[in-house]
Structure 1
């Protein structure tokens, strides 16, 4: 196993195509194919599942990809340490949609201004998806609802988010889960931590909602509530930035359910220089919502 093989392996893993990977590493496709086959022979496992001229990572390939990223990152770090260049490289981050919209823009701006040579990539999604991608090594870190108790995960709190219930303006004030028994609610997909929190709020009061309509955005939820079609739960910080928030009734959830803490999590043992620089910035922005 050598660095050239790992670079080619990463390129194929990320593009899913030998021809596209060859363009990235400036080699001919036949050379990439040969080097990948040599790597598989050296390791004694198949790193890719080959089907319909496309390549998917095998379970062994996923395991190697995490280590391969770390190895190549360490090589880059060593090179920079020797030549004395500014920090550079890439940082793949994930985030809850509301956190990305409200909480972390100043953090990302400070990071970009301080380390312009580091390429910062950000994707958004539900906590469950972000957690899985961190665990699989697809993301260096993610801002999700926490804390997360897992032996392979480390984390640091960023802020406390206040969650509120929104209902049509003429709706009675909501004080408990049973006030919404049988009512339609709007939420993200089942792997969203906020949705689980909402459902557990019902269960704790021995209440059961009516239909649960899955939405792709907070703006969609707000529009449905304004139209009188049901009730939703949103982070208050996100709600107050959205046009139309004054058209709904806002009800608190009660002290036992009101707050959730947003954490930045990363895989244990996978700290990179780029991620450490992000962690160095966080204390300046840690706050309670």
Structure 2
């Protein structure tokens, strides 16, 4: 199977149109059509449904697309491996969720000071998007709330964060009674922070009330300050943001407070010298980090021992 045919196939699948794919590839449209037909004849199966709105992948086309993505990722990794050198250079792309991102500026600054020939690109997103980005080779690794259980992912670093209730000063802190009937403000409806809060609430005989989801941390904290509701955030995040006006953070009880932040990567990722050194910089700046995935597995199954 010719790699050039797969390149055309990928473009058509991503664009959803023969004409748009031709433009992106700088080919004439008839050339693209002929190559798709050649590939379908070679595989003896239709790869696209043709309809008035464009084209979409058949089930066979979806299968081929999965392999095509993997093939091109492997080709890129092969090139990286051949061109890699002991002196870090090139580009690395890492991801982070919003709260973990407050730990990155010092790490990035130190790393760039040591390796000025490496360009570091950063992607901030939600947990599900970051996991997908790692699996699709969009980012090489991501710092995020964990644990993350996926057969193709390795969890490299663990940081034990302590959760806290973030409430407006106008309410005053009286434990869980402070947030009774108040609205929980969150960035992600499925986050582990909410799960830990609900565990605490159940233990004390309370129930979670309304939940309001936000797109940005700035908007969330602004609404907490305005008295619209409360939030659950890592205490370290609150302190690093140096928030001093209108809201305060009160730690969870110890049995509910601890959540892991993990650095994830694909199990089969080729680690360039630039990426390896970035991970070493993480360890330097996160002295509480450990590199044992068995600890995570034990914690998630409830079998961790002292």
Q: TM-score range by the shorter chain?
A: 0.7 to 0.9
- Residue 253 of structure 1 corresponds to 252
**Superposition TM-score, scaled by structure 2 size:** 0.74
Map residues 91-130 of structure 1 onto 2, 5 A cutoff. Answer: 91-100=92-101, 102-110=102-110, 114=115, 116=117, 120-130=120-130
Residue pair 1:187, 1:215 contacting (<8 A) in 2 also? yes
State the alpha-carbon separation in 2 of the partners of residues 103 and 47 from structure 1: 45
Map residues 58-207 of structure 1 onto 2, 5 A cutoff. Answer: 59-77=62-80, 79-80=82-83, 87-88=89-90, 91-100=92-101, 102-110=102-110, 114=115, 116=117, 120-175=120-175, 177=176, 179-207=178-206
- Residue 209 of structure 2 corresponds to 210
**Secondary structure in structure 1 of the residue aligned to 2:233:** strand
Residue pair 2:196, 2:257 contacting (<8 A) in 1 also? no
- Per-residue CA deviation, residues 150-176 of structure 1 (Å, 9 max, x unaligned), is 32221111533332111121323243x
Aligned length: 284
- Per-residue CA deviation, residues 53-74 of structure 1 (Å, 9 max, x unaligned), is 3656964255224412332213
- Residue 268 of structure 1 corresponds to 267
Cα distance change, pair 37–287 in 1 and its aligned pair in 2 (3 A): farther
State the alpha-carbon separation in 2 of the partners of residues 228 and 210 from structure 1: 15
Structure 1, unaligned stretches of length 5 or more? none
Higher gyration radius (CA): 2
Residue pair 1:178, 1:206 contacting (<8 A) in 2 also? no
State the alpha-carbon separation in 2 of the partners of residues 87 and 17 from structure 1: 37
Aligned alpha-carbon RMSD (Å): 3.6
Map residues 277-288 of structure 1 onto 2, 5 A cutoff. Answer: 277-288=277-288
State the alpha-carbon separation in 1 of the partners of residues 108 and 44 from structure 2: 42
Residue 205 of structure 1 deviates from its aligned partner by 3.5
Cα distance change, pair 49–94 in 1 and its aligned pair in 2 (3 A): farther
